Amino acid sequence: MLNEEVQDSMKELLKEYDVKKLNMGDILKGTVIDVNDKEASVNINYAFDGLISKEEISLDGKDPREVLSKDDEIDVYVISPNDGEGYVELSLVRALQIKEKEDIEEFYKNQKNITVKIKEETKGGVIAYYGNIRIFIPGSLAGRQRVELNTLVGKELEIRITELDLRNNKIVGSRRVIEEEEYNKNKKIIWESLKEGEKKTGIVKKLVKFGAFVDIGGVEGLIHISDLSWERVNKPEDVVKEGDNVEVFIGNVDRKNQKLSLILKDVTKEPWTIHSNDIKEGEIFEGKVARLTNFGAFVELFDGIEGLVHITEITNENIAKASDVLELGQKVKVKVLNYNKEDKRISLSIKDAIESSKEYLNYIDSDEDEAGTSLGDLLKGFKFE
């Protein structure tokens, strides 16, 4: 009898205020009047206030006071226009879910980024939430590079929705697509900014037989083995290792094909530039045998500068190959026969250096001369019968 009287009173009050009738499922704007550990009361600009139970405030059982505060303005969902006790039964959770689904649909349609919170690691990926909406992020889409999934739990992550099926509650998100876009954008900017001869800091990423690949901040370039050092290099690992921080010079930039050559050796210390005036035809140098070939031997005069001793200029004797009388690393005296500074070519002779030494011997005693040079010094390292 009492409930009937309350309902009759409510009907009369509604008639008196001529208020629009509420329907289940309506979304209303409201202001929190009061909140305690069990529920929250809300002013919805209606003849009667609304009431939200703890279960309809949060799905994870939080204390309502952790979610709502007095005077908060919120959207609420009408569960029942009349709970039988003079209140409108409302839900914050359901209103949020509707709004969140609308957001998700808009984000997916317009391919906008959204921020989610990672709740847990699961088989093949992680579970994230946008409010109360569950989103699955596969491990392969958690980042552009491999990510330890357990390190993401509890963190917020900006993602893009890549699959959406609300009817079957299937929503898939990707962090990787965002990072790929950022990487490509930065990569384009870097390619446009590259200037030949400019110095950059990079990290050695990979070693191959013909050189080393170095990342200079989003773009990888190749240091050819010949550009690792001014000295001859047999294999890249003799100079650098993967993970090394290096300073390199920009070589050739092919923006069209996105190919970049880098130089590790200091271009400001190019040996031919430094020693070009130190080499003169007719002078005798002490060098080191750097390479042996069928047609002669290459002798290094300075680091990075080699000259050719043709097989006919090694000795007056008939030899089949340079290795018959010379060894790699052997120190020998050589005479400069021809020096082409522009083409960086030097012709050398060992036998002429020996002849010059013999001629020199005719003018000096066997003791060291005033300059301190002896015949033994001139013939240092040379093999002869």
List the one residue out of 115, 91, 89 whose CA is nearest residue 103: 115
* 3-state percent breakdown (helix, strand, coil) of the chain, nearest 5: 30, 35, 35
pLDDT for the residue 172: 96
Across the range 307-314, mean pLDDT stands at: 93
342, 248: one domain: no
> Does one domain contain both 283 and 212?
no
Instruction: Look up residue 307 and give its DSSP letter.
Output: E
Q: Is residue 189 part of a domain?
A: no
Reference 227, options 189, 279, 264; nearest CA is: 264
Is 130 within the bounds of a domain? yes
Residues 261 and 297 in one domain: no
| Digit-coded pLDDT (tens) for 209-265 | 999 999 998 889 999 998 898 778 889 998 999 999 998 999 999 988 889 999 988
How far CA 339 is from CA of 189, 292, 325, in Å, comes to 45, 20, 25
Same domain for 265 and 280, yes or no, is no
Burial 163-201 (b: 16+ CB within 10 A, else e): ebeeeeeebbbbbbbbbeeeeeeeeeeebeeeeeeeebe
pTM (predicted TM-score): 0.51
Among the ranges 19-28, 147-156, 190-199, 265-274, which has the highest mean pLDDT value? 147-156
Q: φ and ψ at 84, to 5 degrees?
A: 90, -5
Question: Would you place residue 197 in the very low, low, confident or very high pLDDT band (cuts 50, 70, 90)?
Answer: confident
What contacts 326, CB < 8 A, 6 or more positions away?
Answer: 289, 292, 297, 314, 332, 383
Q: Is residue 47 part of a domain?
A: yes
**Residue whose C-alpha is closest to residue 160's, from 146, 181, 188:** 181
Q: For position 269, what pLDDT does the model report?
A: 73
Q: Which of 269, 292, 309 is the last residue of a domain?
A: 269
- Per-residue pLDDT, averaged over 294-321, amounts to 90
For residue 145, pLDDT beyond 90: no
Answer whether residue 7 is part of any domain. Answer: no
In a domain, 117, yes or no: yes
- Residue 381 corresponds to which amino acid? G
Phi/psi of residue 100, each to 5°? Answer: -65, -40
CATH, residue 122 = 2.40.50.140
106 lies in some domain:
no
What integer pLDDT is reported at residue 229 of this predicted model?
85
Same domain membership, residue 285 and residue 366: yes
Nearest Cα neighbor of 162 from 128, 179, 137, 182 is 137
Helices (H) and strands (E) in the chain, counts: 7, 20
Residues 32 and 81 in one domain: yes
Name the residue with tokens 């009759």: 8
User: Of all helices (H) and strands (E), which one includes residue 357?
Assistant: helix 351-361
pLDDT recorded at residue 261:
93
Pair 67, 41: CB distance under 8 Å: no
Q: Are 332 and 286 in contact (CB under 8 A)?
A: yes
Q: Name which residue leads in pLDDT, 323 or 374.
A: 323
> Could you say which of 241, 269, 297 is where a domain stops?
269
Average pLDDT score, the chain:
85
**For 148-184, what is each residue's pLDDT tens digit?**
999 999 999 999 999 999 888 899 999 999 999 988 8
Instruction: Give the pLDDT score at 354.
Output: 81
Mean pLDDT of 290-309: 90
Tell me the per-residue pLDDT of 43-96, one tens digit each, with 9 for 90 and over.
998 888 999 999 999 887 889 999 999 999 999 999 998 766 778 999 999 999
Boundary of a domain, candidates 179, 205, 223: 179
Tens digit of each residue's pLDDT (9 = 90 or more) over 109-138: 999 999 999 999 999 999 999 988 899 999
- The structural domain count of the chain equals 4
Query: Which of 275, 295, 291 is closest to 283 using CA atoms?
Result: 275
Is residue 2 helix, strand or coil? helix
Judgement on whether residues 285 and 262 belong to the same structural domain of the protein: no
What is the extent of the structural domain holding 33? Answer: 25-96
| Torsion angles phi and psi, residue 3, rounded to 5 | -60, -40
For residue range 368-382, what is the model confidence (pLDDT) as tens digits?
A: 444 444 444 544 444
For residues 296 and 257, state if they share a domain.
no
- CB count within 10 Å of CB 58 equals 17
Which residue is listed with tokens 């083995």? 225
**DSSP readout, 9-72?**
HHHHHHHHHTPPPP-TT-EEEEEEEEE-SSEEEEE-SSSS-EEEEGGGT-TT---HHHH--TT-
Residue 216 tokens read as: 């200079």
The rounded Cα 33 to chain-centroid distance in angstroms is: 52
Mean pLDDT score, 331-353: 90
Q: Which residues contact 2 (CB under 8 A, 6 or more apart)?
A: none
